[in-house]
Every structure is written in structure tokens, then in C-alpha cells.
């Protein structure tokens, strides 16, 4: 059950690297602002000074999957307390580039880390707070890799092989099965316009736009 989050609306954007999330956050922000909402755009790991410091460690420093998960949830705790929850209390629309579904997909399915431990951390850190809507940009790993092309200095995730992202995609599918109400699957293999249309449809059908 979702915890009440004021009058705000919490929308998360999920998918493997290169699926097209960033391209649609900006459009969604503009549409919500035009509808008269205060819009807070943010990202994970990150969104506060402390969480951005933790992000840089997670993306660049070698560590095991438990350390990685703890740092990500520590960043999330700060982000929720400092930015997300106050914005939702004010009635803002919070658009977050990645959230806890990424942790289940990347650390849980990608790295094979214990899903039960992640569930405990989720409960501990979020105390029931969940996104109202999660837009999952679903794109085959092969297509995402083609869109991204070679990255000059890949981080610890970008340097993973295609098989890793295939596992991550399975993780998203599993999360959608677990939370069918808040998830909207977007077919991200279509043109940017067709993807934007699906995003708008997903938000309209939930009364958000
Ligand atoms: N529907 C699409 N069709 C073709 N290319 C796309 C599409 N959506 C995004 N792209 C391109 O793919 C790359 C990755 O998109 P981006 O939005 O940065 O993905 P993400 O934020 O999920 O990593 C960018 O170069 C972007 O211009
Ligand atoms: C939020 C989150 C991100 N990540 C990873 C996925 C991404 O590869 C990376 C950073 O996300 P992202 O901001 O999408 O990367 P970029 O700015 O390069 O497009 O962090 C996790 O592994 N677990 C998490 O819980």
C-alpha cells in the first residue's frame, strides 16, 4: 500500500541505459508545468549534494554488491528526506530519473544480489513511500547499445556486457509483474514521437495530464 504523499505526484522513469528516459523527462516536465504544476526534476543516485557524492563513488569505485546497494539506499534516504518528500507535501510533481526499481533491476537481477535484503532496505528507507506511476522504457539491450554507441569513458555500469542488461531488463519485467498498478510499460523501440505519445497516454489515463 502506498503511503499518502501530500497532494503531489511521484513519477519515476525506468529502463536500461540508452532506453530513452532522459529524452522524455524534459517533455513530461514541460507538459506538467503547462498544466499548472510545480515540477521538480531529479535523479538517482543523486538529487542532493550528499547523494551526488555517493553517486560518483557508486559509478566509479570498485565495490561489492552489498556495499553498492547500501550506498544507493543511503543516497535514496537523503534524497527522500531532503527533496522528494517535501516536494510531494507541497503538491509538486516529482519526476525522478530512476528510483528503487533500478536497484532491484541492476543490483538484484544484474548483479544477482539477494532480493530479500533489497526488500528490507526498501522498507527501511522508504517506509512505504512508492512512486505513483513508473514509466518503464522497455527496449531490447541490443537496440539500447546501438543507440548509445561507444562511450568514451564508461562507468561501472556502462562497461558491463550486453548480457548484464538482458538480466536488468528481466528485473524490470519482474517488478512490473509485482506492481502492475503503478507500472506503465512503454514500447521504447518506436520513434521518439510514438514513445512520447505512449507517455502522454499513460499519464492521461491516470488523470495526471
Ligand atoms: N525513440 C528513439 N528512437 C531513436 N533514438 C532514440 C529514441 N529515444 C532516444 N534516442 C536516442 O538514444 C540515445 C539514448 O537516449 P537517452 O534518452 O539518453 O536514454 P537514457 O536516458 O534512458 O539512457 C540518445 O542519443 C537519444 O537521442
Ligand atoms: C538508481 C540506480 C542506478 N543504478 C545505475 C544505473 C545507471 O547505469 C547508473 C546511472 O544512471 P543514469 O543516470 O541513468 O546514467 P547516465 O547519466 O549515464 O545516463 O546507475 C543502479 O545500478 N542502481 C540504482 O538503484
Ligand 2 binding pocket includes 132 (Cβ within 6 Å) = no
Is the predicted pLDDT of residue 3 greater than 90, yes or no?
no
pTM of the model: 0.97
Tell me the pLDDT tens digit for each residue of 143-186: 999 999 988 899 999 999 999 999 999 999 999 999 999 999 99
> How many residues in the chain?
209
What mean pLDDT value characterizes the chain?
Answer: 96
Closest CA relative to residue 136, chosen from 89, 90, 177: 177
Tell me the pLDDT tens digit for each residue of 84-140: 999 999 999 999 999 999 999 999 999 999 999 999 999 999 999 999 999 999 999
* Residue 192 CA, ligand 1 centroid: distance in Å: 8
Ligand 1 site residues, Cβ closer than 6 angstroms: 15, 17-23, 147-148, 191-192, 195
According to the model, what pLDDT value does residue 5 have?
Answer: 55
Tell me the pLDDT tens digit for each residue of 183-197: 999 999 999 999 999
Is the predicted pLDDT of residue 69 greater than 90, yes or no?
yes
* Residue 83 CA, ligand 2 centroid: distance in Å: 19
Q: What is the mean pLDDT of residues 30-45?
A: 97
In whole angstroms, give the CA distance from residue 86 to residue 79: 10
Ligand 2 binding pocket includes 157 (Cβ within 6 Å) = yes
In whole angstroms, give the CA distance from residue 68 to residue 113: 10
Ligand 2 binding pocket includes 103 (Cβ within 6 Å) = yes
Is the predicted pLDDT of residue 52 greater than 60, yes or no?
yes
According to the model, what pLDDT value does residue 152 have?
Answer: 84
% the chain with pLDDT above 70: 97
Of the CA atoms within 13 Å of residue 141, those in its CB half-sphere come to 15
Q: What is the mean pLDDT of residues 30-35?
A: 96
Ligand nearest to the CA of 55: 2
Ligand 2 binding pocket includes 164 (Cβ within 6 Å) = no
In angstroms, the first-to-last Cα distance of the chain is 23
Is this prediction's ipTM beyond 0.90? Answer: yes
According to the model, what pLDDT value does residue 1 have?
Answer: 43
Per the annotation, binding residues are 15-22
In whole angstroms, give the CA distance from residue 91 to residue 149: 39
* 153: three-class secondary structure by DSSP: coil
Q: Is 203 exposed, middle or buried (0-12, 13-18, 19+ CB in 10 A)?
A: buried
Ligand 2 binding pocket includes 72 (Cβ within 6 Å) = yes
Architecture of domain 9-205: 3-Layer(aba) Sandwich (3.40)
Q: What is the mean pLDDT of residues 13-41?
A: 96
Per-domain boundaries in the chain: 9-205
* Residue 79 CA, ligand 1 centroid: distance in Å: 26
In whole angstroms, give the CA distance from residue 63 to residue 86: 32
CA dihedral 36, 25, 179, 123 (to 10 degrees): -90
Residue 54, C-beta contacts closer than 8 angstroms, at least 6 positions apart? 45, 71, 72, 74, 75
Amino acid at each position: 500500500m502506498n503511503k499518502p504523499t501530500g497532494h503531489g505526484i511521484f513519477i519515476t522513469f525506468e529502463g536500461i541505459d540508452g532506453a530513452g528516459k532522459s529524452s522524455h523527462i524534459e517533455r513530461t516536465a514541460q507538459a506538467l508545468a503547462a498544466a499548472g504544476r510545480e515540477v521538480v526534476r531529479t535523479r538517482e543516485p543523486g538529487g542532493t549534494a550528499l547523494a551526488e557524492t555517493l553517486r560518483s563513488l557508486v559509478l566509479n569505485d570498485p565495490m561489492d554488491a552489498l556495499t553498492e546497494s547500501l550506498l544507493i539506499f543511503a543516497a535514496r534516504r537523503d534524497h527522500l528526506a531532503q527533496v522528494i518528500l517535501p516536494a510531494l507535501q507541497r503538491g509538486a510533481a516529482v519526476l525522478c530519473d530512476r528510483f528503487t526499481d533500478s536497484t532491484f533491476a541492476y543490483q538484484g537481477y544484474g548483479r544477482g544480489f539477494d532480493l530479500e535484503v533489497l526488500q528490507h532496505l526498501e522498507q527501511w528507507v522508504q517506509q512505504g513511500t512508492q512512486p505513483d506511476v513508473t514509466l518503464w522504457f522497455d527496449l531490447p539491450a541490443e537496440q539500447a547499445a546501438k543507440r548509445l554507441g561507444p562511450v568514451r569513458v564508461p562507468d561501472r555500469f556502462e562497461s558491463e556486457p550486453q548480457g548484464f542488461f538482458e538480466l536488468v531488463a528481466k528485473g524490470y519485467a519482474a517488478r512490473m509483474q509485482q506492481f502492475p498498478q503503478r507500472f506503465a510499460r512503454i514500447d521504447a523501440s518506436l520513434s521518439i514521437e510514438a514513445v512520447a505519445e505512449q507517455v502522454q497516454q499513460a499519464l492521461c489515463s491516470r488523470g495526471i495530464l
